[in-house]
Amino acid sequence: MTDGLFVKVASTVKQVRYIFVTGGVASSLGKGVSIASIGALLEARGFSVTIQKMDPYLNIDPGTMSPFQHGEVYVTQDGAETDLDLGYYERFTSAKLSRENSVTTGQIYYTVIERERRGEYLGRTVQVIPHITNEIKNRILSLKRSNPEVDFILVEIGGTVGDIESVPFLEAIRQFRLDVGTENTMYIHLTLVPTITIGGEIKTKPTQHSVKELLKQGIQPDMLICRSTNYLSEEVKEKISLFCNVKKERVISAPDIEHTIYEIPLIFHREHLDDEIIRYFRLEEKSPLFLETMNPMLSKWETVVEHFKKPKGMVKIALVGKYMQLADAYRSLFEALQHGGIANQVRVEMIKLDSEQLTSENAHELLGEADGILVPGGFGERGILGKIIAIRYAREKKIPYFGICLGMQTAVIEFAQNVAGLRGANSTEFETECEHPVISLMEEQLSVTSKGGTMRLGAYPCLVKPHSLLEEAYQKREIYERHRHRYEFNNRYRSLLEGMGLVVSGTSPDSGLVEAIELPRHIHPWFVAVQFHPEFNSRPLDPHPLFVKFIEMAKKKNRSEW
Ligand code: GLN
């Protein structure tokens, strides 16, 4: 009787819990991956989550920032240009993120200032507290309004505690607890526990200082995740617990990983992080419904990790781009290639090549070992020639080729120049007055002058040509993929290039834009290039079909199966 009542209450009144994650001591400790792993664990225990990132910089979004400054720009389904951490959130959880999941100081101030200009503050002085902090809280609550069914909202506060620019965010999450109650909010602080190289001593002082810094903002963390070289000993945990006023069971080790970031949910689980969150929110007492979710279903993650520990083979993929040495600039791409490896049970080794270094003379030396060649997205003229040389090499030597965005545009240019004999073929992005603009500015872009958020962004449908390589990979006739570009295949050249053997295998249903090209099977074993970014839709637990197929073909090449 009582049980029945509890079930009813639990299913009709949806209480959202909020977990705020801050970072201390140093940047780049892996806050994004940590919060994504917490999301994965909560999902494994039957809860639904969404994750929001608060970035303290003044840009409206990272769309206009250089990859050197910011790494990859991750594009959401609804076309927001966001921080790469959102990529981790989507790869680790099944949360569907939108522009509401990405907040920056720039957006907050923009909204408040626009409101002030409209006179909506009715003559009052507009201040950081309460106007900026209210707007920050409003963004968290609006995510709740858009996801009324979600059990947990996880919020990552970008930057490091102690930075001037994150103060309003810390103040807002401090106030948030007052608004929704301690029982519905949890503060997790990610810190560094370094080991002094000489003597191998573990130092807890930076963590103590970082927690003090947080206390100055009025926030006492409920849990600490401690990045360190190895697991923390019980003794070290006790010390941190005592000095930082956090229960010992809630001092979680986050040691360096051995094989892959996909181990992190499992490491956290072994550290009882999910048990402690559930205990903190007293979820096991709430209703029998929750009790049923107490068996973690982590076997899928274990299978993924097992793959990295014992792959059954290896393939080498040459990546030819402009920022190849900057791992974060192509984060989703690198991850998607690994996912393709998981599906094919092979380790994917990447040969990262700076396209500026590639010439016709050294192409064989640099690319001869590759089982697959990939040219990723990019902007600007620098290094284009090297990309075209790599594509020609892939085409002529029958090495599996996968082109993404700029990698499709350059494949079209290469085909036009070297197969169709249009020597003056180029993109107007690199040569405005070129003789054969086979890639040109999209119609809708002609009048666009400002840079921020003005590309063709987000998911669009694409019709797949029957019996094409694209259809073989997707097993579908209509797909949705995310875009981020201004230039397109110039349809004026379509019939000429098709006449020379180029296959247009994907087109947008409304505007007839070319979304994918390929070479026929009798010409080349696997040459596919797409205008969209499939890497944003790949997950370790659900690898993207194009990456699966590309790695499968690279595996065949490696084993000389043709
Ligand atoms: N620079 C090209 C364009 O704007 C390609 C963009 C990309 O690769 N993301 O169309």
The residue nearest atom 1 of ligand 1, judged by CA position, is 379
The count of other CB atoms within 10 Å of the CB of residue 128 is: 13
Let me know if domain 311-444+490-502+517-558 sits in CATH 3.40.50.880.
yes
Handedness of CA 416, 72, 67, 461 (dihedral sign): positive
3-class DSSP assignment, residue 497:
helix
Q: Which of 326, 327, 389, 332 is nearest to 355 (CA)?
A: 389
| Catalytic residue, candidates 70, 339, 533, 544 | 533
d(CA 282, CA 276): 9
Q: What are the sequence ranges of the domains in the chain?
A: 21-306, 311-444+490-502+517-558
Measured between alpha carbons, how far is 95 from 259 in angstroms, rounded to an integer? 25
Sheet order of strands, 436-441 included: 425-427, 436-441, 487-489
Q: What tokens appear for 332 in the block?
A: 């989703």
Same fold, 21-306 and 311-444+490-502+517-558: yes
Taking only the tens of pLDDT, the chain with its 562 residues reads 333 333 333 444 578 999 999 999 888 889 999 999 999 999 998 899 999 999 999 999 988 888 888 889 999 999 999 999 999 999 999 999 999 999 999 999 999 999 999 999 998 999 999 999 999 999 999 999 999 999 999 999 999 999 999 999 999 999 999 999 999 999 999 999 999 888 788 999 999 999 999 999 999 999 999 999 999 999 999 999 999 999 999 999 999 998 899 999 999 999 999 999 999 999 865 444 454 554 556 888 999 999 999 989 999 999 999 888 888 899 999 999 999 999 999 999 999 999 999 999 999 999 999 999 999 999 998 999 999 999 999 999 999 999 999 999 999 999 999 999 999 999 999 999 999 999 999 878 888 888 888 899 999 999 999 999 999 999 999 999 999 999 999 999 999 999 999 999 999 998 889 999 999 999 999 999 999 999 999 999 999 999 999 999 999 998 887 6
484 pocket-lining for ligand 1 (C-beta < 6 Å):
yes
CATH number of 21-306: 3.40.50.300
Residue written as tokens 């990939």?
Answer: 374
- Which residue has a Cα nearest atom 6 of ligand 1? 485
Q: Does the active-site annotation cover 533?
A: yes
Nearest C-alpha neighbor of 384 from the set 315, 297, 462, 321? 321
Q: Is the CB of 384 under 6 A from ligand 1?
A: no
Atom of ligand 1 nearest to the CA of 484: 9
| Cα 307 to Cα 347: distance, rounded to the nearest angstrom | 8
Best mutation site among 374, 405, 444 for ligand 1 pocket (most ligand atoms within 8 Å of CB): 405
For the Cβ of 536 lying below 6 angstroms from any atom of ligand 1, the answer is: no
Whether residue 456 has its Cβ less than 6 Å from ligand 1: no
Catalytic residue (one of 434, 535, 544, 552): 535
Q: Ligand 1 in contact with 174 (CB < 6 A)? A: no
d(CA 558, CA 370): 8
Q: Is 403 near ligand 1, meaning CB less than 6 Å away?
A: no
> What residues does 527 pair with on adjacent strands?
401
Residue 192, φ and ψ in degrees, nearest 5: -110, 135
Look-up: residue for tokens 């401090």? 174
Strand 372-375 to 314-321 pairing: parallel
